[in-house]
Amino acid sequence: MDFKKLSGSLLFRIIVAIILGIVASIIFNGSGWGVTIARIFVTFNGLFGNFLGFFIPVLIFALIAPAIASLGRGAGKWLGITTAIAYVSTIISGLIAYAIASGLYGWLLAGNTTAKVEDIDEGALQPFFEIEMPAPMDVMTALLLAFTVGVAMTAVKSDTLYRGCQDLQRVIMHVISGFIIPLLPIYIFGMFLSLGMNGNLLNTLTAFGKVLLLAVIMTWIILVAQYLIAGGIAGKNPFTALKNMLPAYATALGTSSSAATIPITYAGAKRNGVTDAVAGFVIPLCATIHLSGSIQKIALFAFAIVYMDGIDMPPSLAIGFILMLGIFMIAAPGVPGGAIMAAVGLLQSMLGFNDDQVALMIAAYIAIDSFGTACNVTGDGAIAMVINKFAKGDIQRTDRQEETSPLDYQSEGTASLYEGK
């Protein structure tokens, strides 16, 4: 699958959908035929939202169960240690986002509220019909079942069940990339059309513009903090190490794909003195499980909606949300927008978000998806430095890594990026 093409086209289509939704809401407002057309999209959004409610628990089980089982089948203790470091880094980033939101949103978002479809006069935008789609299980049941089955597969070494879960995972990934992601622009269009017809959308967009800028700035701060810590542990200049990873940052910024950036990240890690074996082990693994930038964006956007809509969220709920979101990030599918899709069930079950709030989250997340991806992959280099400090004698190049040695050839091809050629 061409992730670069998918991510680029998705971002473009989302932006176009937002603009068209706002323009259409102005044109349709006050017009009988306009309201009729708008109701078609409201009907679609209701059906699509109900499908997401049905699909999310299945997605959670399909992604998390094989992910947990695979951890028990990996390369010994350093797999667990690397995963633990990636998880801690991810949740610390989320907790920092919560602290920033608690400290700044009272000033930054003062007087702002999100627009709501139900505010529209006379309830004009009602769907033509609705179809209930009950989920096979709730989100927490799916998560507990995934943990139980994943751990059990590791304990009994059930290869048949494991392969079945992997097949289910591939099916779910295909549904995400082939059905849900392509329909997101229509969903976003319908949401902005609906919200725009109440006349209060400008307030929401202004407030979220501030949060988008804050999220971008925070990804830079997180990266500096990660390299200060990694540099201190590894005994290297953190700013030189971060400079060596800038080609990976730029590549991820342009592709929005951790997978497409792996060769560049690998080359940057080697530039920082990480051995071939450690870089070949840590970089591909962390490209999947280390999402410090993604969790920060989701947390900042979610807490902004919580603040603007006056949702009651005690600190214990916020911290629990971050801890659970860190697990969901590890299991997030590697497609553009995959992290926010994996988080939808948690947003609904723990924070009580409705379809409009979820759609706003998706639109905001995808709008700066590349900045989160760039933070994720650049941070992978910091983890590689830490693991290299303690494990370079324990982690040896495996047969599988020898088979994937094109990383070396691709990294050689990117040498000019580091040498300024």
Angle at 276 between CA 270 and CA 277, to 5 degrees: 135
Alpha carbons within 13 A on the beta-carbon side of 208: 24
How far is residue 75 from each of residues 202, 257, 290, measured CA to CA in Å?
Answer: 52, 25, 18
Q: What radius of gyration do the chain's Cα atoms show? A: 22
Give the pLDDT of the chain (421 residues) as one tens digit per residue: 444 444 446 667 877 888 888 888 888 876 778 788 888 888 898 888 888 778 878 877 887 787 677 655 554 577 778 888 999 999 999 999 999 999 988 888 876 666 554 444 444 567 888 888 888 887 778 877 887 887 788 778 778 888 888 898 888 878 877 888 788 788 878 877 877 776 556 666 777 788 888 988 999 999 999 999 999 999 999 999 999 998 888 878 766 667 667 788 888 999 999 888 788 778 877 877 888 988 999 999 999 988 888 888 899 999 999 998 888 887 665 555 667 877 888 888 888 888 778 888 888 887 777 788 889 999 999 999 999 888 765 555 544 344 434 344 344 443 333 333 3
The end-to-end CA distance of the chain, in Å, is 30
> Residue 412 burial by CB count (10 A; 0-12/13-18/19+): exposed, middle or buried?
exposed
How far is residue 39 from each of residues 16, 22, 26, 28, 120, measured CA to CA in Å?
Answer: 20, 15, 15, 11, 13
pLDDT at 358: 85
Neighbours of 171 (CB within 10 A): 12
Nearest to 287, CA basis, from 323, 338, 321, 236: 338
Helix, strand, coil percentages for the chain (3-state, nearest 5): 80, 0, 20
Q: Answer yes or no: are the C-beta atoms of 300 and 214 closer than 8 Å.
A: yes
pLDDT at 385: 93
Q: Answer yes or no: are the C-beta atoms of 128 and 41 closer than 8 Å.
A: no
How far is residue 196 from each of residues 113, 211, 383, measured CA to CA in Å?
Answer: 14, 20, 44
pLDDT at 4: 46
CA dihedral of 230, 291, 315, 145, whole degrees rounded to 10: -130
CB burial readout 214-248, b (16+ within 10 A) else e: bbbebbeebbebbbebbbeebebebeebbebbebb
Per DSSP (E only), the strands in 238-383 are none
Nearest to 342, CA basis, from 156, 104, 143: 143
> Residue 91 burial by CB count (10 A; 0-12/13-18/19+): exposed, middle or buried?
buried
- What is the spatial distance between Cα 143 and Cα 164, in angstroms, rounded to a whole number? 18
- What is the spatial distance between Cα 182 and Cα 7, in angstroms, rounded to a whole number? 11
pLDDT at 414: 39
Whose tokens are 């540099």? That residue is: 231
In the numeric block, which tokens belong to residue 367? 């709008």
Q: Answer yes or no: are the C-beta atoms of 261 and 248 closer than 8 Å.
A: yes
